[in-house]
Amino acid sequence: MRWKKRRRNSHFREKALRISKSTRPETTHRVREQRDFVTVKGGMLSFLFWNLNRKPLHRLVAHLVGEVNADVVILVEAVEVSELLAALNGQGSLRFIPAPGRTDQITILTRFSHPLVQQVTDKDGIRICRITLPARGDLLLATAHLLSALHTEAQDRDHECVRLATAIREAEARVGHSQTVLVGDLNVNPFQSGVVGTHGLHAVMSRSVASAVSRTVRGDKHLFFYNPMWSHFGDHPDGPSGTYFHSGSHASQFWHILDQVMVRPSLLSRFDSASLRIHHRLGHESLLSKRGRPRTRYSDHLPITFQLNV
C-alpha cells in the first residue's frame, strides 16, 4: 500500500514537471513580448553611441544609459563586454542583452529579446540589424566603425563610405524598406566626399533637401540621408564643437565630427533633432580637460545620444 502511494505521488510529480516544462517557453516568450512592448510604449526610442577607445568605462556608460533612458546602446572599441552588461543590468529595471552577431568590433546592446532583433549584415566595421517592435513596425539599424583617419589616406576613407553605402542599400533591398538610421564612428567629417557624394552616403545637412527623398544625377537615382550633425560644428550652446579633437597639421580645423547619426527621408518626421546631443559631462564628471579637449583618461571620442519617435 505504501509502495502504491509512493508510486502515485511520483506519477503526479512527473506529470507536473512535464506540464511545467511544456508551458515554460511559451510563458517566458509571453513575458518577454509584454516587457518589450512596455519598453517602447512611451513612443520614443532612445539611442546611445560611444567609441570607448578600449577603456573600461562601464560606470560612465551605465550613468549615461540611465541619464537618457537608453533603449539601444552601440559601442565601438569596447572591452570587457560581460562586465559592462553586469554594470548596466545591475542598476534597476533596465535589462540589456547583446544583439545577435559578433561583438568584437561593434557591440550592440538592446532592451529587446532576440526575436525582435535580427542580424542582416555583419562585415568588417559594419553591422546592420533589423528591429521589429510590436505594433510599431520595422527599423533598420546600420552601425559602422570605419578605417581610422590616423592610418589611412582620404581616398581610402571615401572608399569605405562607398562600401558602407552599398551594404546599406543591399540590406534595405533584403528587408524591403528604407526605414534606416545609421550611426557610428565614420572617421570622416560630414562634408567629405564619401559622406556627401552620390555613390557614397549622399547625406545632406538640410531637412528640406532630404525631404525630396532622392535625386537623379546623369540618369542614376540616389537616395538621400539626412545628416543633422552639421548643426553641431562651431560654438554650440549645449556642448563642444565636435566629437573628436585633433591638431596635427598646418591646416587644421581642430574639432571634427567623426561620430555621426543619419536617417533616411522616411524617418525625417520621426527623428527628434532637439534630442541629438554630444555629451561632455556625465553627472559631476567632465569628459573634457581644462583646455576643453577630450580627456585621455577617458575616450578620445565624445558620446552622442538621440531619439526616434516609434
Q: What is the mean pLDDT of residues 158-170?
A: 97
Q: What is the reported pLDDT for 152?
A: 84
Q: What is the mean pLDDT of residues 253-261?
A: 95
- pLDDT one-digit tens code per residue, 211-227: 999 999 999 999 999 99
Any residues with CB less than 8 A from the CB of 30 and at least 6 apart, and which? Answer: none
Residue 202 has pLDDT above 60, yes or no: yes
Residue 41 has pLDDT above 60, yes or no: no
Residue 9 has pLDDT above 90, yes or no: no
User: Which of 198-202, 249-253, 278-282 is predicted least confidently?
Assistant: 249-253
Distance between CA 157 and CA 142 in Å, rounded?
Answer: 18
User: Which of 20-29, 202-211, 218-227, 241-250 is predicted least confidently?
Assistant: 20-29
Q: What is the reported pLDDT for 279?
A: 96
Q: What is the reported pLDDT for 150?
A: 80
Distance between CA 249 and CA 115 in Å, rounded?
Answer: 49
Which one is predicted more confidently, 170 or 247? 170
> Listing from the earlier edge strand, what are the strands of the sheet with 271-278?
97-98, 106-110, 72-76, 44-51, 304-309, 271-278
Q: β-strand 180-185 against 203-204: which pairing, if any?
A: unpaired
Q: What is the reported pLDDT for 93?
A: 62
Which one is predicted more confidently, 55 or 236? 55
Question: Please, what is the angle between helix 58-68 and helix 81-89, to 10°?
Answer: 40
Q: DSSP secondary structure string, 244-297?
A: EEE--SSS--EEE--EEEEE-GGGGGGEEEEEEEE--EETTEESB-TTSSB-TT
3-state DSSP call for residue 254? strand
Q: Which three cell numbers stand for residue 309?
A: 519617435
Any residues with CB less than 8 A from the CB of 310 and at least 6 apart, and which? Answer: 40, 43, 44, 45, 133, 136, 137, 139, 270
Residue 22 has pLDDT above 70, yes or no: no
Which CATH architecture describes the domain 40-309? Answer: 4-Layer Sandwich (3.60)
Report for 38-42, 150-154, 182-186: range of highest mean pLDDT: 182-186
Q: What is the reported pLDDT for 91?
A: 67
Which one is predicted more confidently, 93 or 184? 184
Q: Are 90 and 111 in contact (CB under 8 A)?
A: no
Give the whole-number percent of the chain exceeding pLDDT 90.
Answer: 71
Residue 1 has pLDDT above 70, yes or no: no
Q: Grid coordinates 528587408 are at which residue?
A: 175
3-state DSSP call for residue 122? strand
Mean pLDDT of the chain: 87
- pLDDT one-digit tens code per residue, 65-89: 999 999 999 999 999 999 999 999 9
